[in-house]
């Protein structure tokens, strides 16, 4: 599974931010139940790999362009850091955008 997260800085201590406030994209590759890669990009267009999932901060985000691309959108209502989001993803604690 390949996940993107809008974040406030370009290191693993980054926190999720609103799409309107993002500074970078965290690109996460999941393999065998854990994070196998974490890279940061200034522009989404620079991500060459297929993106399967976007994680956003709340369900009020404008995510229609992602849905139009058949990218699953999940909400991290309580998680802030990349590690917290990855852990919540693995334990299925993230919410669908409609929740």
Work out the average pLDDT over 40-49. Answer: 96
* CA–CA gap between residue 72 and residue 93 (Å, rounded): 15
For the chain, give the percent of residues with pLDDT over 70.
98
Q: How many CB atoms lie within 10 A of CB 95?
A: 16
Taking the model in full, what pTM does it have?
0.95
**Is the per-residue pLDDT at 98 higher than 80?**
no
Q: How many CB atoms lie within 10 A of CB 80?
A: 15
Q: Which CATH architecture has domain 2-96?
A: 2-Layer Sandwich (3.30)
pLDDT bracket for residue 99 (50, 70, 90): very low
């Amino acid at each position: 599974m390949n996940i993107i997260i809008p974040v406030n800085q370009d290191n693993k201590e980054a926190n999720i931010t609103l799409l309107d406030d993002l500074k970078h994209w965290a690109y996460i590759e999941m393999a065998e139940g854990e994070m196998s890669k974490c890279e940061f990009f200034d522009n989404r267009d620079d991500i060459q790999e297929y993106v399967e999932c976007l994680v956003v901060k709340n369900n009020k985000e404008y995510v229609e362009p992602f849905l139009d691309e058949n990218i699953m959108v999940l909400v991290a209502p309580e998680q802030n850091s990349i590690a917290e989001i990855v852990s919540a993803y693995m334990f299925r604690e993230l919410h669908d955008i409609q929740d």
